[in-house]
Every structure is written in structure tokens, then in C-alpha cells.
Chains A and B, each alone.
Chain A
Amino acid sequence: MKKRLALFAVLLAVTTAAWTHEGHVHHILGTVQEVEGNTAVVELRDGKRHTVEFTAKTRFTKGSKEASLADVRPGVRVSVDLADDSRTARSVKIGAAAK
């Protein structure tokens, strides 16, 4: 049991470290500015813009419901988990339209 807990703690530490790895962007919160094909430009809360690319593997959700790329529209708030290239979206949570 102790070994399992220790292993789990190591995995958790590694995951947390990867999440906060300097120089790597793995997660963004922002408002969609434009969508063109399978890419979107997201304005982050600090005003910077980040281009996100969607693939066939990208998972879209809105609340607890499944969504699609069609739900990613200008003005909508999104939370995006990115791959290590900081561009490819692994999953996109779609929220409310910006006020």
C-alpha cells in the first residue's frame, strides 16, 4: 500500500511539474476572436493572442455535454488544454459568450 501511495505521489508530482513547466504553454483561458477552418485565435486575459489548432482527436465539451468545432464561435469563452507544441488542442471546454 505504501509503495502504491509513493508511486502515485511521484506520478502526481511529475504531472504537476509538467503542467507548470516553464516555457511550455499547456492550458489557456480566453475568448475566441476568430475561427478559420481548423484554427482559432483566442484572446487571453492579458490581451495576448494565441492561435489554436484543432484536430480529429480534439474533444469539445460544453458543460457536461459533448460539443463540436461548430460551437467554437467568436465571442465565446474557452478553456483549452494544449499539446506540448502549445498549439494543438487536446480538449476544449466551451463556456458562456463574453459580456
Chain B
Amino acid sequence: MRRTGIALLALVVIGFTVTALALGRAVRSGFSTHEQPSAIEAWVARTVRHWAVPADLRGAANPVPLTPEALASGRAHWADHCATCHGNDGKGQTTLGQNLYPRAPDMTLPATQRLSDGELFAIIENGIRLTGMPGWGNGTAASGKGSWELVHLIRHLPQITPEEIAEMERLNPKSPAEFERMQEEEAFLGGNDHH
């Protein structure tokens, strides 16, 4: 009994020491979003994300029928609100998405695609704490419909076509400088500049 107590105490002391050393090292070197989240952080984040989804939504099916109009609406919504971080193709290869901590994920991969419709809806509506994902919902029927259309679009991302992406690029938000750059780019690629 006494041996067990000593062993437990030793484990606690070792655990405390390792944690203190790790924290000390982290505080000395600082924190940066340029590093990849560790496996433990990723596991904790996924677990917390799972708990954050209201139980009655986890198994919910998409109530918005999948139609060309719903997909078109989803594409326009995605291009305007989501593509800045996630990219029009959902792969997260954007300046903002690749410098977030954790990174914006490649949503065409199974890690996202195997989430249920209800989980995707809840993430869009409520966001994910301690990440760059904001909660976009406001509890209205219109907001809910928009989010369910986005769920359809997320399911469609692995099959999205270059034509659809080109359409979305025209709908992406642009500053005046970006608009000017887009026009300059079109003229250059078309050989219509004076280069």
C-alpha cells in the first residue's frame, strides 16, 4: 500500500516536472501560429468541436432539398463569406487560411466530409471557439437556410469544377486595389496590355 502511494507520488512529481519544463520552454520561445498544431492539440480541438455541437443537431439531415438553385446560392454565399480563408475550392490554400492556428483545413478530405450534415451546419452557425472559424448564424430562418445550402456546397467541394470556381472568383470580395489587379491580370493574360 505504501509502495503504491510512493509510486503515485513519483508519477505526480514527474508529470508536474515535465509539464513545468514544457511550459517554461514554451514561454521562453513564445508562441507562433506558424507552427503546426501538435497531435494532442488537434485531438483536443476535434473532441471539443464534437462536444460543441448540440446533441439534437448531430444526426440532423439537411432539410433544404439539393437543387441546382440551392448549390448556386451556396457557391455565391461561399465565395462572398468563406473563400477568403477556405479558398473557392475549399482546400484552404489561402494566405489567411494557411496562417491561422489551426490552419484552415482541406475540406475536400474525409476529416471534413465524414462530419454529419448537422455537425457541419452547427459549425457554420456557431463557429468553433479558439480557432479562426466565426459563428455566422443569427438564429433566423434565412440564416439557417443559407447555412444548410452551404452544407450542400461543402458536400459538393470534392467535385467542384473549374467553371464553378471561375464563377466564384468573380464573386469574391475585392478591395479597389484587388479589383484593379484583377483587371490588370485579365489584360496581361489576354495579351491586351502594352507589355
Contacts and interface: CB of A to CB of B under 8 A. Distances in A.
Interface string B120-148: 00000000000000101010000000000
Q: Would you call the interface of chain A mostly helix, strand, loop, or mixed?
A: mixed
A20 B95 CA distance: 11
Contact of B96 (A15, A63, A90): A15
Contacts, number: 78
Interface stretch (B4-12, B149-157, B172-180): B172-180
B162 A11 contact: no
Given A59-B89, A64-B162, A19 B189 contact: no
B138 A1 contact: yes
Size bracket of the B interface: 20 to 34
B166 A61 contact: yes
B24 to A, nearest CB: 30
B99 A12 contact: no
Contact of A11 (B85, B89, B138): B85
3 interchain residue pairs of minimum CB distance: A95-B189, A64-B166, A96-B191
